[in-house]
Structure 1
Amino acid sequence: MITLNHVQKQFGGRVLFKDCSLQIGARDRIGLIGPNGSGKTTLFRMILGEESFESGEILIAKGVKMGYLPQEVISFRGDTVLGEVLKSVSTITSLQDKMKILEEELASIDDPKAQEKLAKEYGKLHEHYTLLGGYGLEAEAKQILNGLGFKERDFNRLTDELSGGWLMRIALSKILLQSPDLLLLDEPTNHLDLESLIWLENFLVNYPGAMVIVSHDRVFLNHLIDRIAEIEGEKIDLYHGDYDRYLEERENRREILEATFKTQQKKIEQTERFIERFRAKNTKSSQVQSRIKMLDKIERIELPKERREIRFEFPAPKRSGHRVIEVKNLHKRYGETVVYEGIDLTLFRGDKVALVGPNGAGKSTLLKVLAGVLDYDQGEVLLGKDVTRAYFAQHQFDLLRPEHTVYEELLSVATDESQTQLRTLLGTFLFVEDEIE
């Protein structure tokens, strides 16, 4: 379906791909992995024709439809949630628009002949709409939206009202509704709660087309993919099996490569010592020249660079009391919607709790109440002795200020740390100097 042959690509003076080859078949399920900045998104954009490359070729079978979910938040404005999703199937929405215009014209004229003419035209459009599965498509769009966490009442909400995370769900809904031959999904689980994640996983398990997925969710990949394409050393290495099998096979390949590298290095060193020792002796000149030629012909093994990994520890807090936080008879509502009605909760030092529940159940609201960033209507929230709180929001991206550099954003919340400490912390999270500023 799609073939990449020996593709070379530079980006900003840096070589991303030196010899990139990959085949994507009609039912392939491929996990695309590699360190941040290795070129995963660039590879998607080259396949889509949105990014050029220096040499090689990308062959795409005639008529192949592709659907791409980027990692960046997409902006949709001026339509309802359902209307925006249905826009992705342009033929259907075009017929809907024409039918709506005719409905308005039929309602506004009294001339019987004109009405009859418009009614016939409307009938033809309606028949075409039905044959294309227009009514079924709307039901399918609603089913996808429901699966990704939207309620019935959300379908007519304007997209302008939604946060970045919900806009990404709309973008994903549009792609799934189109049912393309190939899905290119860049971190599709980033903005999903557990319930929506499980739904998406089940949807993709039964998806009839091919997919290439970039994801840091190991379980998600294990359930969906049967091949791993790893960007390593400016090329792509293929592994058969799921993510866990890839880790085992990668370690095996690494051990074999290191052993072969050591053997080769030993042979090279022995040869170089022979050349150095007998270079000046005429009786050995032919042997020396033979060894020099042999060295020139050796295809030298290169070990892959060690990957940088995020390594950090949360600083040890001051020891708190045994009872960390207690919630008594908590009530909370948004307008007429009751979220909590008299809930109780106690957390003790050392507790590690997973908070789960359906979309809209109030998980984020409870975290905000516990963090002290949201008021409640009734009840008590009691902190234990020497307890400090920190809160990481679900849609943290919405809270960041895009006009700030990475360093400035960190500086805005760090009051006591020195510049050196802050830069060291950013380095721990793999930010390099030009990214910090």
Structure 2
Amino acid sequence: MLNFKNVSLRRGPNVLFSQASFTIHQGQKVGLTGANGAGKSSLFALLRGELHTDEGDFSMPPGLEVAHVAQETPAVACSAIDYVIDGDQELRRLQKQLSAAEQTGDGLKLAELHAALDIIGGYTAEARAARLMNGLGFRPDQEQNPVGSFSGGWRMRLNLAQALMCRSDLLLLDEPTNHLDLDAVIWLQDWLCKYPGTLLLISHDRDFLDAIASHIAHIEQQKIELYTGNYSAFEKMRAEKLAQQQSAFEKQQREIAHIQSFVDRFKAKATKAKQAQSRIKSLERMELIAQAHVDSPFNFSFRKPQKMPNPLLKLQEAGIGYGTTIVIDGAELTLAPGDRIGLLGPNGAGKSSLIKVLAGEMQPLAGEILIADALNIGYFAQHQLEQLRIDESPLQHLQRLDKQATEKDLRNYLGGFDFRGDKVLEPVGPFSGGEKARLVLAILVYQNPNLLLLDEPTNHLDLEMRHALSVALQDYEGAMLIVSHDRHLLRSVTDQLLLVADGKVRPFDGDLDDYRSWLTEQTKNEEPPEDVPNQSLSRKDQRKLDAERRQKNKPLLDALKKAELAVENLHREQYELEQQLADPAVYQNQEKERLKQLLARKTRIDKDLEEAEAEWLEAETKLEEAG
């Protein structure tokens, strides 16, 4: 479907990649990875026809409907839902033609256009748009608000909804989770898994990539290599290649030893609590992850805090909100050294407000907050990026913090965050969002806090930096409280989850998979039938019901997993055969018998794959019907 043959692409004098040859087939979901500046966004521009190859040939079928997320949103006066519906351009074309036919009274044309509208689902377009907006966190009462009334982050969500509204053959998504909370990320993940077209996805969220991608296209050292499987499978294959390099192997062993020491410490303290056991399983995979990041440009760690009072901070009967509106009532929270807490909860429930109160940026409306004398807070939030001095360099920012430090020591420190050479002297104004986020984190780490409050710290960070941050946080000895849509980070560095919902803060009894189930139940229960009484179940009874439901659906889940595995294996075999058939040597006279065998296998695999996909669809449909 998308054919690259010896493709080279440059931006100015710089070669982004060269001699790239691979094929992306219809329906495949490809994660595009690589360091910042490697050429991921330029590859998207090539697919959109905005750039052309410098060498080689790129081809795609004519008439393909390509959808992508616009980077700018005009402050237009039209309603949000109309803006989303605009994503279905064929629908808008038919509506214009329908309006013209009505004015001329062309009955035959009107009948033809109404039939065409029915075929493309035009009469359900508004309902489709409303579902997309709801999934991305918009309330029903916001659908008619003008686009210009939304903030920048919410406009980006509207752009995403508009791209999803398009009935596209090819969907290009560049960091779609950057402006989303965890609830919206989970919804988008489920939507993309069911998307029938071809998907190319740039993302630094490894859990998101793992759940969606069937292939990974990785750009490094001016080459693109296509790997079969999700991001974890790619990491394993890349790790095996890198481990063969002696220098990389030595660094890898040091990283593994560091992680293993942390795993051992955690296991020694772990109870049989579900969250703790889940985290141990996650950490046991980190040796493999470390192998795939041996050539990371990032290397930093938190020093041991100078003072560690216990408790560090305490909320008592706190009311949290704005003006006279209380969002969270009666919050009780004590933070002590070693606490590692992840905050969960629906959008608007008050997670960021809670962190702002803890950080001292807001005062509680009721109750009190008790603070230790030696409390030293390291607070990361998106507005912190805006507080950087745009005319000063990274070096100057650190010199403001520590006037006694030598330039050499500060340069070495900044090098751990990949600010090297002249970069440490450049003003931060033109820096990318990722570079600014790294600098804010560098400043935060340098101040040696004993309490970390992190509100979406991974926004704008690439996979390498996210990995370095998770490793540093694992060894951090103070207390931390994190809000993040990056589930891998939450699994790796937290051992306690709190749920902010229904105006309360309470412990969440379960892991992130249970939270996903909780979200699904909340969505189902938002509008209960009027004739069904609202019965309150105890936690014990709810767990019993959940267990019975899982047991009842186990045969369907097993069938679905079996079908998914069969499709994945057949896709892999199909891809390998296609690679062999792409070799010109196989068409030489002396290879006739081998070619015949390959073509016979390809025919059989194609048939088996078609049957396996039908079984997968049937299993998924049965599971959905069973709830």
Which TM-score tier does this pair reach, normalised by the shorter chain? 0.7 to 0.9
**Cα distance, 1:388 vs. partner?**
1.3
**Cα distance, 1:90 vs. partner?**
3.7
Match of 1:350 among 338, 347, 351: 338
Which is worse superposed, 143-152 or 341-350? 341-350
Task: Show the 5 A alignment for 1:309-324.
Answer: 309-324=297-312
* Correspondence for 2:230: 242
Counterpart CA distance in 1 for 2:103 and 2:204 is 55
**Cα distance, 1:401 vs. partner?**
6.3
Q: Does 1:167 align with 2:155?
A: yes
From the superposition, tell whether residues 100 and 36 of structure 1 become closer, same or farther in structure 2 (CA, over 3 Å).
same
**SS of equivalent to 2:332:** strand
Counterpart CA distance in 1 for 2:176 and 2:161 is 11
Counterpart CA distance in 2 for 1:46 and 1:406 is 34
**Cα distance, 1:21 vs. partner?**
1.9
* Correspondence for 1:82: 81
From the superposition, tell whether residues 65 and 395 of structure 1 become closer, same or farther in structure 2 (CA, over 3 Å).
farther
* Correspondence for 1:182: 170
**Cα distance, 1:418 vs. partner?**
5.8
**Cα distance, 1:364 vs. partner?**
0.6
* Contact in 1 for aligned 2:313/2:334 (Cα 8 Å): yes
Percent of residue pairs identical = 34
Counterpart CA distance in 1 for 2:380 and 2:181 is 15
**Cα distance, 1:390 vs. partner?**
2.1
Q: Does 1:151 align with 2:150?
A: no
Q: Does 1:199 align with 2:198?
A: no
Task: Show the 5 A alignment for 1:257-406.
Answer: 307-334=295-322, 337-394=325-382, 399=386, 404=391
**Cα distance, 1:371 vs. partner?**
0.5
From the superposition, tell whether residues 89 and 328 of structure 1 become closer, same or farther in structure 2 (CA, over 3 Å).
same
**Cα distance, 1:365 vs. partner?**
0.7
**Cα distance, 1:197 vs. partner?**
0.8
From the superposition, tell whether residues 409 and 344 of structure 1 become closer, same or farther in structure 2 (CA, over 3 Å).
farther
1:255-304, Cα deviation, whole Å (9 max, x unpaired): 5688xxxxxxxxxxxxxxxxxxxxxxxxxxxxxxxxxxxxxxxxxxxxxx
**Cα distance, 1:405 vs. partner?**
6.0
Counterpart CA distance in 2 for 1:350 and 1:257 is 37
**Cα distance, 1:423 vs. partner?**
4.0
Match of 1:407 among 384, 387, 394: 394
1:324-363, Cα deviation, whole Å (9 max, x unpaired): 1111121233357430222221111110100000111010
Q: Does 1:36 align with 2:55?
A: no
Q: Does 1:429 align with 2:437?
A: no
* Correspondence for 2:213: 225
* Contact in 2 for aligned 1:410/1:422 (Cα 8 Å): no
* Contact in 1 for aligned 2:91/2:117 (Cα 8 Å): no
Unmatched tracts of structure 2, length 5 or more: 247-292, 427-627
Counterpart CA distance in 1 for 2:83 and 2:394 is 37
Counterpart CA distance in 2 for 1:431 and 1:127 is 59
**Cα distance, 1:61 vs. partner?**
0.5
Match of 1:133 among 105, 115, 121: 121
* Contact in 1 for aligned 2:326/2:365 (Cα 8 Å): no
**Cα distance, 1:50 vs. partner?**
1.2
Counterpart CA distance in 2 for 1:154 and 1:9 is 43
2:18 maps to amino acid: K
2:68 maps to amino acid: Y
Unmatched tracts of structure 1, length 5 or more: 103-116, 259-304
**Cα distance, 1:317 vs. partner?**
2.2
Counterpart CA distance in 2 for 1:342 and 1:48 is 52
Counterpart CA distance in 2 for 1:58 and 1:134 is 34
* Correspondence for 2:60: 60
Count of residues in Structure 1 that have an aligned counterpart in Structure 2: 375
* CA RMSD across the alignment: 3.4
More contact order relative to length (CA 8 Å, sep ≥ 6): 1
* Contact in 2 for aligned 1:35/1:307 (Cα 8 Å): no
Counterpart CA distance in 1 for 2:323 and 2:97 is 39
From the superposition, tell whether residues 60 and 244 of structure 1 become closer, same or farther in structure 2 (CA, over 3 Å).
same
From the superposition, tell whether residues 406 and 173 of structure 1 become closer, same or farther in structure 2 (CA, over 3 Å).
farther
* Correspondence for 1:291: none
* Structure number, greater radius of gyration: 1
* Correspondence for 1:113: none
* Correspondence for 1:69: 69
From the superposition, tell whether residues 44 and 406 of structure 1 become closer, same or farther in structure 2 (CA, over 3 Å).
farther
* Contact in 2 for aligned 1:33/1:231 (Cα 8 Å): yes
2:394 maps to amino acid: Y
* Correspondence for 2:9: 9
Which is worse superposed, 424-433 or 146-155? 424-433
* Contact in 2 for aligned 1:318/1:386 (Cα 8 Å): no
* Correspondence for 1:287: none
1:204 maps to amino acid: L
Counterpart CA distance in 2 for 1:67 and 1:409 is 43
* Contact in 2 for aligned 1:308/1:430 (Cα 8 Å): no
From the superposition, tell whether residues 431 and 45 of structure 1 become closer, same or farther in structure 2 (CA, over 3 Å).
farther
* Contact in 1 for aligned 2:98/2:110 (Cα 8 Å): no
